[in-house]
Amino acid sequence: MKNFVKGFLVATLIFAVTLTGFAASKLQTIEVELNPATIYVEWDEKEIEHFIHKGTTYVPLRSISEMLDTEVEWDGEEKTIRIYKINPREYSIWSFSGYTEPIIDAEIEVVDSYVSNFFKDLQSRLIFLLDYIDMINIVDNSIEKDTFIELQIMRDEIENRLYMESLTSYFRTPIYYTLEVLDNIELALIRSYSGDSPESIQKNLEKARKHVSYMLSLGF
């Protein structure tokens, strides 16, 4: 289970690398060994040259990033490499159209207050669940089966509450962030139950805390 989770999560990694002292760096000649290992990305075999240097495998950054469907940008002036994913549902359906003030029909305006209260309720439930998880301290203590089931049921009740509501694409951003919170909570539970590292569990919980604060946004 632990290896499965690690393999699954590699597709969601996001990096931001800054090259400091780039201008002052010197070229070095190193000896490397071509790595005969086969690389799989989400269970698909990929042909990509990679090598080993001092026990570490090195893979071309752009090649592996594009295989993971991430964007790669190089800023020559700042000497910065940015690798990121574009998730359209983080933004309103008008964000990429150039409109600054989207046209909202009367029906949406009428239900807006109700839906806003609905997401506030979900947000409160998720914050309560996160606080409860922190109290149990699943980061430093691997949870047992009964606790895992208990927490999954609590998480599942919130997810079911979301699916029971009829929502339009206008609310896709709060839906997106709600699901991000739920997914990161579930991954943290799976990691704790499987005995993964505290750092990886903490990372999922921090993401959940971050995303829960965006749940009332209609897009950026």
**Cα 173 to Cα 4, 188, 199, distances in angstroms:** 29, 23, 28
Tens digit of each residue's pLDDT, the chain (220 residues): 444 343 333 333 333 444 445 555 567 787 778 877 888 877 788 788 888 888 888 888 888 887 877 888 888 888 888 887 777 777 766 666 665 554 444 444 445 678 888 999 999 999 999 999 999 999 999 999 999 999 999 999 999 999 999 888 888 888 999 999 999 999 999 999 999 999 999 999 999 999 998 888 765 4
Task: Give residue 111's identity as a one-letter amino acid code.
Answer: V
H-state helical runs in 31-72: 61-67
**Torsion over CA of 140, 144, 150 and 152, rounded to 10 degrees?**
70
